[in-house]
Chains A and B, each alone.
Chain A
Amino acid sequence: MTKKKKTKIKPRVSMPMRDAVQRGRIFSEVALGYDQNQAVAEAKRCLQCKKDTCKTGCPVDVDCKSFIRLVAEENFQEAFKVIKDTNSLPAICGRVCPQENQCEGTCKLGPTGQPIAIGRLERFVADNFYARNSCEQETGFMECILPDENLKVAAFGSGPSSLTLAGYLSARGVKVTVFEALHEPGGVLVYGIPEFRLPKSVVKREVDSLKHLGVEFKCNFVGGMSVTIDELFAEGYKAVFIGVGAGLPRFMNLPGENYVGVYSANEYLTRVNLMHGYKFPEYDTPVPKGNNVIVIGGGNVAMDAARTAYRLGASSVKVVYRRTKGEMPVRLEELEHALEEGIELEILASPVSFSGDDHGHLKSVLLQKMELGEPDASGRRRPVPIDGEVYELKTDMAIMAVGTGANRVLTQTTPQLELNKWGNIKADPSTGETNLPMVFAGGDIVTGAATVVEAMGAGRIAAREILRRLK
């Protein structure tokens, strides 16, 4: 690209946000979304490249170029159909996908630092289009085939992979029953990602539209415990999809890690999001209150936990990370939001032990100073402890956000399922099928913790294969 052309490109249209000071203590959504003028102006920046690399960057192959052109032409209904053709949950993806590594990362305008805001446009379309019925919402067509009660498929877990699978199959005449262990469907979308990033009303809208299509949700059913795969086949189900995620929180096995005041991010976020603990005592679930809070980790979950703690009234929230800011796996946008809201970073530090008072309540953490050494297998410079450089930090609450592993509940009770050495289910990447015939798996239980849209992609692959076998 020549210099002359470069200057012709308009900067991307910025999206309205709640003011950092005002939003930092409330749970309302931070990013407010484009209005119609902003969306159209942003869509007009798209070069409509002949070779649309943005589509290949999307794990569910959204035809970005076409839907953006339709937005530019103000034909939003058609744009919605194009998105819905491959993406079941656009209002969610537009908000939580790490677009910089996906569609926007492959945008031709990327090198200018101003790629098309594909995620924001997708969100605009999904938020503002009102489908005439649920079938249209799912497929873009007014009429769907009524689910055939004899063609039954079960899904374990109700996160993004199962929701995608349920939408795809039910719109094509298959009766899908989703078994969810918790009391509300949505998986990580309801217990993990906070309201200020993903309003629960958006998730509910998607779940409701699936219900209208005939998808049955059975909450409080634990796969492998309340209902087993064998029982389902005996009841006439033709296929089973396992999308139970990577919900097992990791701890670091440090001295003092079980003091009162040390929580997994999963526990903390579940208490706040799923159980509405931030409204205690109106809601019954208590949420631990910390004044000087530390969060260990550098990913999106760490940032969600940190921003949540700040919203619950902490006077100081520090994110402790063993590398530097530049290596953090968090989305840049979320990190910026967190910093604007007053979250501090404690970089090149790693916890060694926790101390508590006589009642077993956390009072401080001992941190080891680190420096960056040689690059490791991932290409990132490895953090190396600096000998003897430890320091104490006063803290009354520590949240561990150092990753999650495969949930063992289903795999423990279904020993016939083949697993890899990390406890993830082995599944054929091109079909999603496991070593058990007509048992499919997808999402984090197969790949380990990944993104919402990758889980959706896996749900879509399995759904397509199941449909092919059934018809």
Chain B
Amino acid sequence: MLNKILKKRILIPDRVSELTIYAPHIARNARPGNFVVLRLTEKGERIPLTIADKDPEKGVIVIVYLVLGKTSALLDTFGQGDIILDLCGPLGKPTEIRKQGQVICVGGGTGIAAMHHIAKGNYEAGNEVLSVIGARSKDLLLFKPELEKISSKVFVATDDGSMGHKGFVTEVLLKCLKENPDVKEVVAVGPVPMMKAVAGVTADFDVETVVSLNSIMVDGVGMCGACRVSVGGETKFACVDGPEFDASKVDFDELMMRLNAFKPQEELSMELFKKKTG
């Protein structure tokens, strides 16, 4: 049945899980970089989530979510056999992938899952993928085994030093760029401060840098402009013009400010949900 959850895999208990959902039309047309918008109940809101993987033959897509507020917490109560009320996609412009040689894919936190689909697309296009992933500690690293299959090397950074480099992904990225002068492109997906820092690092190198932006969305099909971002001084809608943009042109501070627009309401919603579910 359409939008049925066929499999749930808990990646980090109570925090991050992966859902495999039956949606053949989305699986057939989804490209790396695309996302979906979903709604869980009649009174629910619409939230965007990146498509982390797909299998058109089985008619399934894979999404990975981080429990952050009410809707993601409610989604976390869903399991195998449950049905997502509304699932709309694929949305957004797909990643521009061309055969060009070495590509570094940087992922932070839950962003690693979204980055995975892009890394896989690069691998399938014949590029050499160097993956750089980071999280607070090693238990929070996602998709490492999957990335190892398609990357020539996976570099790890953790805040607490429990695996790989102790510190930020940007430090690993800097080293990686110095050691691999032929890198053609850097793709980064993760929290806004991380993407901003990546843009700062690559600015000193002659390398194209793309980031996937996570602005607030309502419809996801270009009719409201809630997701608007400033890119090179121009207003763009992340849902139809992006979500990927040239990192050197993105106004990250504005994005950060806009992401906090509904903070008090989000907190109230979550509080009421916690009260209700105990």
Contact = CB atoms under 8 A, between A and B. Distances in A.
B223 interface: yes
A226 B23 CA distance: 10
Given A276-B43, A283-B43, A266 B29 contact: no
Given A181-B221, A226-B25, A267-B224, A281 B269 contact: yes
A409 to B, nearest CB: 5
A220 B240 contact: no
B219 interface: yes
Contact of A359 (B224, B260, B272): B260
A42 B257 CA distance: 56
Contact of A267 (B29, B218, B229, B257): B218
Nearest to B38: A220
Interface stretch (B84-92, B146-154, B180-188, B190-198): B84-92
B26 A226 contact: yes
Given A221-B25, A249-B223, A260 B257 contact: yes
B218 A282 contact: no
A424 to B, nearest CB: 15
B254 A258 contact: yes
Interface in B7-42: 25-26, 29, 39
A221 B219 CA distance: 12
B71 A284 contact: yes
Contacts of A284: 43-45, 70-71, 269
Nearest to B223: A247
A266 B221 CA distance: 12
B268 interface: yes
B43 to A, nearest CB: 5
Interface in A202-228: 219-222, 225-228
Contacts of A221: 25, 88
Given A222-B221, A257-B235, A282-B43, A359 B88 contact: no
A282 B273 CA distance: 11
A412 interface: yes
Contacts of A271: 218
A390 interface: no
A251 interface: yes
Given A266-B223, A281-B272, A183 B261 contact: no
B235 to A, nearest CB: 6
Interface in A284-299: 284-286, 288
A282 B269 CA distance: 9
Interface string B44-76: 111000000000000000000000001100000
Interface residues of B, number: 42
Interface string A286-326: 10100000000000000000000000000000000000000
Contacts of B137: none
A187 to B, nearest CB: 10
B15 to A, nearest CB: 21
B224 A270 contact: yes
Interface centre among B91, B221, B229 (most CB of A within 10 A): B221
Contacts of A360: 254, 257-258
Given A183-B88, A220-B87, A247-B223, A275 B261 contact: no
A275 B222 contact: no
Contact of B235 (A182, A183, A258): A258
Nearest to A282: B43
A95 B258 CA distance: 37
B235 A226 contact: no
A408 interface: yes
Contacts of B260: 260, 359
A281 B71 CA distance: 12
Given A270-B218, A360-B258, A409-B221, A181 B230 contact: no
Contacts of A280: 265, 269
Contacts of B240: 408-409, 412
A359 B234 CA distance: 21
Contact of A181 (B70, B85, B88, B262): B88
A264 B269 contact: no
Nearest to A268: B224
Contacts of B235: 251, 253, 257-258
28 contacts: A181-B88, A181-B221, A220-B88, A221-B88, A222-B91, A222-B221, A225-B91, A226-B29, A226-B90, A228-B29, A249-B223, A249-B224, A249-B225, A253-B235, A258-B229, A264-B225, A267-B224, A267-B226, A270-B219, A270-B223, A271-B218, A276-B43, A283-B45, A284-B71, A285-B46, A286-B266, A407-B223, A408-B240
Interface of A: 181-183, 191, 219-222, 225-228, 247-249, 251, 253, 257-260, 263-264, 266-267, 270-271, 275-276, 280-286, 288, 359-360, 407-409, 412
Given A182-B88, A226-B89, A258-B228, 9 more contacts: A183-B86, A220-B88, A222-B88, A251-B225, A258-B230, A266-B224, A275-B46, A359-B257, A407-B221
